[in-house]
Amino acid sequence: MKTEPLRILVAEDSPTARRLLVEILRTDPALAVVGEAKDGLEAVDLCQRLQPALVTMDIQMPRMDGLDATRRIMTEVPTPVVVVSTLVERDIQTSMAALRAGALAVLQKPVGPESPDFEADSRRLRDTLKAMAQVKVVRRWPDRAATPTPHQETTPTPAFRAPAVLAMAASTGGPAALYRILSDLGGQATPPPPILLVQHIALGFGNGLATWLGTATKLRVKVAEDGEPLTPGTVYLAPDDKHLGVTQDHRAQVSGAAPIQGFRPSANWLFRSVARAYGQTALAVVLTGMGQDGLDGIRDLHQAGGRVIAQDEATSVVYGMPAVVVGANLAHEVLPLGQIARRLLALLQPGVRTP
């Protein structure tokens, strides 16, 4: 049976750039451009009327920019959005804001056939759109803080030992989730133990992601350096195209070892090393993301006596990484995004023995 092409809406104010994007997409029979928008308002309107499989979104546009248009689309007619903009390299903070607004990915806009990277950039664009079009997006996450619900236990809770480290991993939808969690973790009188993060993201975004996440919290957020001691109150982010782990004497371990299941940094690498170094004092959180990176590492951490929290399906942009952990009965708790930080605070505070 013939598969229907993916229906794409292109939002771009420059006629030249819009025509280039349309031609790039039309070279792939699996993609079909069904609409073109000159600004954010038109993008929202066409998205409501055409119901495309995915929207490519520029950021700087008249009447309504791409950030506001993405927020409206995710509120009114949830549809996968991929930002394609020249601002990706020049303004990392704006790119991160686009992810927080609900975009699934951000890509540099191809500059034209005269560029030596044109074919590679065009192929990356088409491949990303095909992957992101399969994501079942959700409406903007509600604020659940005012209406807490009991946390869901999926495996027996281990004998409690105060965590000495927090390891978190995410993929699609992760930057916004991490931003929200960190914004709620940094206001305590006593700093939390070291926090290690693996986020699947495009090359060149590591430093910008660290800077952006740093605006959300009073905690120190930095890209990890090999061999540095892990200190409380500091968030360590895996560098671009490097694994992040910890040594037995609790120092950051940055490695260029081969990718694991196609990922570098790898959540499996992080969780396995944390399990070896911390055992029962390890606390892990698996957040929204595509695929199953982290499952094997979480299995090791669970067996070592560490505690595992998984984000729930309702608040995950993509219920892949947390789903496989929950499905394998490795999550001690499954929580909506809005409750994860509060639960972490209860577990991480010195002297607290929360079951």
Cα separation of 310 and 288, whole Å? 9
- Give the whole-angstrom CA distance, residue 124 versus residue 56: 13
pLDDT tens sequence across 248-296: 999 999 999 999 999 999 999 999 999 999 999 999 999 999 889 999 9
Mean pLDDT for the stretch of residues 3-24: 93
Percent of the chain with pLDDT over 90: 63
| Predicted confidence band of residue 298 (pLDDT cuts 50, 70, 90) | very high
Q: Which residues make beta-bridge pairs with 107?
A: 84
Cβ-contact 186, 194 below 8 angstroms: no
* Pair of tokens at residue 245: 């782990």
Could you tell me how far CA 5 lies from the centroid of its own chain? 27
Q: Is 15 helix (H, G, I), strand (E, B) or coil?
A: helix
Identify the CA nearest to 219 among candidates 198, 240, 188, 252. Answer: 188
Given a contact cutoff of 8 angstroms between Cβ atoms, the answer to whether 190 and 349 are in contact is yes
Averaged pLDDT, 44-73:
94
- What average pLDDT is seen over the chain? 88
Ramachandran quadrant class, 87 (left: phi over 0; alpha: psi -120 to 50; beta: rest): alpha
What is the per-residue pLDDT for 3? 79
CA gap 218, 216 in Å, rounded: 7
Which positions are catalytic?
Answer: 171, 200, 293
Could you tell me where the DSSP H helices lie in the chain? 15-26, 40-50, 66-76, 87-90, 92-101, 118-132, 174-185, 206-214, 267-278, 295-303, 321-327, 337-348
Contact 119, 313 (CB under 8 A): no
Q: If pLDDT is split at 50, 70 and 90, which confidence band does 146 have?
A: very low
Cα–Cα distance, 339 to 311 (Å, whole number): 9
Name beta bridge partners: 254. Answer: 244
- Tell me if residue 333 falls in helix, strand or coil: strand
Closest CA to 171 of 134, 194, 197: 197
Tell me the longest C-alpha to C-alpha distance in the chain.
63
The pLDDT value recorded for residue 296 is 96
What is the pTM (predicted TM-score) of this model?
A: 0.81
Q: Which residues contact 124 (CB under 8 A, 6 or more apart)?
A: 107
AA identity, residue 224: A
Residue-wise pLDDT for 72-104, tens only, equals 999 899 999 999 988 765 567 778 888 888 898
